[in-house]
Chain A
Amino acid sequence: MTESAETPVHHPDTVANAIATPERVQPYDALGLKPNEYEEIKKLLGRRPTSGELAMYSVMWSEHCSYKSSKIYLRQFGKKVTPKMNEKLMVGMGENAGVVDIGEGWAVTFKVESHNHPSYIEPFQGAATGVGGIVRDIISMGARPVAVMDQLRFGKIDEADTARVVHGVVSGISSYSNCLGLPNIGGETIFDPVYQANPLVNALAVGVLKHEDLHLANASGAGNKVVLFGARTGGDGIGGASILASDTFAEGGPTKRPSVQVGDPFAEKVLIECCMELYQQDLVEGIQDLGAAGISCATSELASNGDGGMFIELDGVLLRDPSLTPEEILMSESQERMMAVVEPSKLDAFLEVTKKWDVETSVLGEVTDTGRLIINWHGEEIVNVDPRTVAIDGPVYERPVSYPAWIDALQADSASTLARPADSDTAALREQFLKLLGSPNLADKSWVTNQYDYYVLGNTALSFPDDAGMIRVDEESGLGFSIATDANGRYCQLDPYAGAQLALAEAYRNVAATGAVPTAVTDCLNFGSPENPEVMWQFSQAVEGLSDACQTLEIPVTGGNVSFYNQTGDVPIFPTPVVGVLGIIDDVARRIPSGWQDAGEHLYLLGVTREELDGSTWADVVHGHLGGRPPAVDLAAERDLAELIHAGAQESLISAAHDLSEGGLGQALAEGVMRFGVGARVWLAELMQRDGVDAATALFSESTARMLVAVSHEDEVKFKGLCEGRGVPVLRIGVTTGAGESAELELQDLFTASVDDLRRTNRATLPEYFGPVVGG
């Protein structure tokens, strides 16, 4: 930090000093604050801030912590609600993570968050600490973490730097989550040149708790003790929150170069168990994890959400590096730390528990009713602020928005003009089908997922490559949840409003395909710079689209994260609103897998196929094309489809269900065959006639609200009756055939591919670029 030279450790910039030396020049711009923000701080305090206060405001008013550019849009999620959306919502947006009632006295908490920028600078530690951070959010709600998932976007698969980032990120995630002993049950891995110098590493975690174990981040009850516990505080990631998330890499000179954080998953594992015991013994009044902005964030948020006052003696913080200045201690992002509010009468018992787990603990101060957050350093007051001005009432910007100049031309350039093979050109159709199957974004992701442990804890009911991950919560009743995440940046580039809705629709459909009832949403909105009016337009459209769709489907957004400044030079990434949907299933024994397992089952296509190839994987892989309008969103049809599958699951009518999305029907069929090596004979003639499409469209179109299901022969009448009763378009398109070496996917009158061919094509791609598959 620039102040350290002028502010020696032993002579901190006190409040008295700030009053006495109003003229002192402060390096607010190097800390990421704009001149108007600095003026606002001076107005709030009635004097210049001390360097400690400046440190706090700069990190807490950064885009990452304050949501200053996104706040005005995010309010829509709170406004567009129906009574049904609140029925199961125990904790909504604004806390560390949302909490949903799943019945039987159980609740689930889940959230997805970004760790994009650190993961480009230092892929291994960046991704690892991304997992650690989101897991602590879950712990701080009073829940035991039970699963994680990662949503990854990398650059072009054959660029040299991509391999560096992929290897680092995947081993960072696997290292941290495998050490913690948490199953990684799903996620996404996408390659596209727009993410070349700005990969996206989003991390999601889920935890379960009993209703009575719910904890919140607030400091109430004057006289209660404020306790910091976990790892010691060091110089990790100082200024990471404000500087990393507030500016582009290109401008970052040496002074802006932040240090990254190094995580210790074994310390976090101990912290989890320690917290669980603290909750069990009811020793905690309020709790908050330390993530971005460290102690600055934890103290100001706890105080703002509680009685409003807190007194802290900062020299009580246990340090790894004794030379840290108070400003650095306030900003440090050292990992594996938590802050709790404890009643004085319970303090001894609290310390007993942390001692048992060998977790270092220091009592820093107490809750007050003064309405001020006061921080002392060796007896001198270095911070005296209204905590709400730091944590809640930060700046709010209504950034300029402008309709992108290029978007009309992009939307006019439809994929319908691209050459498609004639129905009779079966060789070309086969070739394109296989080309898609082996393309980086549709290829088998075992190279990634085999590095993760996905059955640890013994409650994983579904995992990759199924449509959604599923975890059993109650071992007696079989109650569980299902979770899926999706985002298609290409669709969002074409139309961010529709694209965000398509992300929700796909995640919703994936969860529904497992037989669960979609119930709640989390999102991680990854965009370019908010200072670019065209990006701000994309953001406003995406939030509007997502909030409208959540209202229509009646599933609330419970929390999430916004990540701006994702760009290389001046080129923003495609808007990438990652949407996660959580569903509830009464008994995981009634789950529906994605692949068929027996011969002689009937294959049905649910939904209607239209000529919707704009933004498709086919347009990308075959023609290198992006243009037109993404597939039409039909939320009513999505809901009908989801309700149909749930009804079918209740009666155990459906033996397999797989959603149709990227790659279309061709990809869904191939995945169905490859899953358990059971072949299928499929006829598309009726489909082509009913929907008026050619063979290429039938195979590659990405029309929404479609699913491929397998139903046993005996249940045919019942199943068709169910579809007709609910008005879901249904067409029998095939039958499953034998397993074994001769298993094949036969598309009658078009082409045939053996299961070996399919698997070879699908599995070769990632190892070709990144080396052999682990454990494959």
Chain B
Amino acid sequence: MPTIVVEVMPKAELLDPQGKATKGALSRLGKSEFTDVRLGKRFELTVEGPITDQVRADVAEIAEHVLSNSVIEDVVAIHYPEGEK
């Protein structure tokens, strides 16, 4: 069954406490070449049956309204499986 991937990131101008914590951990490990870390979310949506226009419309809608909080996050990418473009 095909899997669609949705990627969500915190908006660039807002504080990302988890990314900041990760950056802190890297610095403590001596990996100081990394000046910033931002941490987002990846959703894998598995679909039964073919990816129709309706499915695409649904994915776009839930990505915007359910999987992300548009006030503080952006949907940065929606990946469809190879050949399903």
Please report A residues at the B interface, Cβ cutoff 8 Å: 121-122, 125, 231, 234-236, 238, 259-264, 266-267, 320-321, 334-335, 358
Contact = CB atoms under 8 A, between A and B. Distances in A.
B17 A235 contact: no
Nearest to A336: B15
B41 to A, nearest CB: 15
B13 interface: yes
A320 B16 CA distance: 10
B10 to A, nearest CB: 7
Contacts of B72: 122, 125, 260, 262
A121 B71 contact: yes
Contacts of A335: 15
Given A122-B72, A125-B72, A264 B11 contact: no
Nearest to A257: B71
Contact of B17 (A259, A260, A264): A264
B17 A267 contact: yes
A236 B72 CA distance: 10
Contacts of A122: 69, 71-72
- Top 9 closest A-B pairs, CB basis? A235-B13, A264-B17, A122-B71, A262-B15, A262-B14, A236-B14, A234-B15, A121-B71, A259-B13
Contacts of A260: 14, 71-72
Given A262-B17, A321-B12, 10 more contacts: A234-B14, A236-B13, A236-B14, A236-B15, A238-B13, A260-B14, A262-B15, A263-B17, A264-B20, A267-B17
A334 B15 contact: yes
Interface residues of B, number: 14
Nearest to A264: B17
Nearest to A233: B15
Interface in B41-60: none
Contacts of A238: 13
Given A122-B69, A122-B72, A259 B11 contact: yes
8 contacts: A122-B72, A235-B13, A262-B17, A266-B21, A267-B17, A321-B13, A335-B15, A358-B24
B15 A320 contact: yes
Contacts of B24: 358
Nearest to B69: A122
Contacts of A263: 15, 17
Interface in B3-29: 10-17, 20-21, 24
Contacts of B14: 234-236, 259-262
A125 B16 CA distance: 12
B17 A234 contact: no
Of B12, B15, B20, B24, most A-chain CB atoms within 10 Å: B15
Contacts of A267: 17
Interface of B: 10-17, 20-21, 24, 69, 71-72
Contacts of B16: 262
Contacts of A262: 10, 14-17, 72
A234 B21 CA distance: 16
Nearest to B71: A122
Contacts of B69: 122
Contacts of B20: 264
A264 B69 CA distance: 18
Nearest to B17: A264
A261 B15 CA distance: 8
Nearest to B24: A358
A7 B33 CA distance: 32
Q: B11, B12, B14, B20 — which one has the most chain A CB atoms within 10 A of its CB?
A: B14
A707 B79 CA distance: 65
A267 B54 CA distance: 44
A164 to B, nearest CB: 11
A558 B27 CA distance: 45
Contacts of A321: 12-13
A477 to B, nearest CB: 40
A136 to B, nearest CB: 15
Contacts of A261: 14-15
A264 B18 CA distance: 9
A461 to B, nearest CB: 33
A236 B13 CA distance: 6
Contacts of B10: 262
Given A262-B10, A264-B20, A231 B71 contact: no
Nearest to A267: B17
A122 B11 CA distance: 14
Contacts of A358: 24
Contact of A231 (B11, B12, B13, B15): B15
A619 B20 CA distance: 53
B16 to A, nearest CB: 7
A291 to B, nearest CB: 15
Nearest to A260: B71
A266 B15 contact: no
B37 to A, nearest CB: 12
Nearest to B70: A122
A335 B69 CA distance: 20
B71 A234 contact: no
B8 to A, nearest CB: 14
Contacts of B71: 121-122, 125, 260
A649 to B, nearest CB: 45
A121 B15 CA distance: 17
Contacts of A266: 17, 21
Contacts of B17: 262-264, 266-267
A429 to B, nearest CB: 47
A385 to B, nearest CB: 27
A334 B16 CA distance: 11
B13 A264 contact: no
Contacts of B13: 234-236, 238, 259, 321
B66 to A, nearest CB: 12
Nearest to B15: A262
A122 B12 CA distance: 17
Nearest to A328: B13
Contacts of A125: 71-72
Contacts of A231: 15
A320 B11 CA distance: 13
B28 to A, nearest CB: 10
A235 B15 CA distance: 8
A131 B14 CA distance: 18
Nearest to B18: A264
A670 to B, nearest CB: 40
Nearest to A125: B72
Nearest to B20: A264
Contacts of B21: 266
Nearest to A118: B71
A125 to B, nearest CB: 6
A210 to B, nearest CB: 33
A444 B12 CA distance: 41
A618 to B, nearest CB: 40
A335 B15 CA distance: 9
A269 to B, nearest CB: 12
A320 B35 CA distance: 10
Nearest to B14: A262
A154 to B, nearest CB: 18
Contacts of B15: 231, 234, 236, 261-264, 320, 334-335
Contacts of B11: 259
A537 B13 CA distance: 40
Contacts of A121: 71
A692 B71 CA distance: 57
B58 to A, nearest CB: 20
Nearest to A324: B13
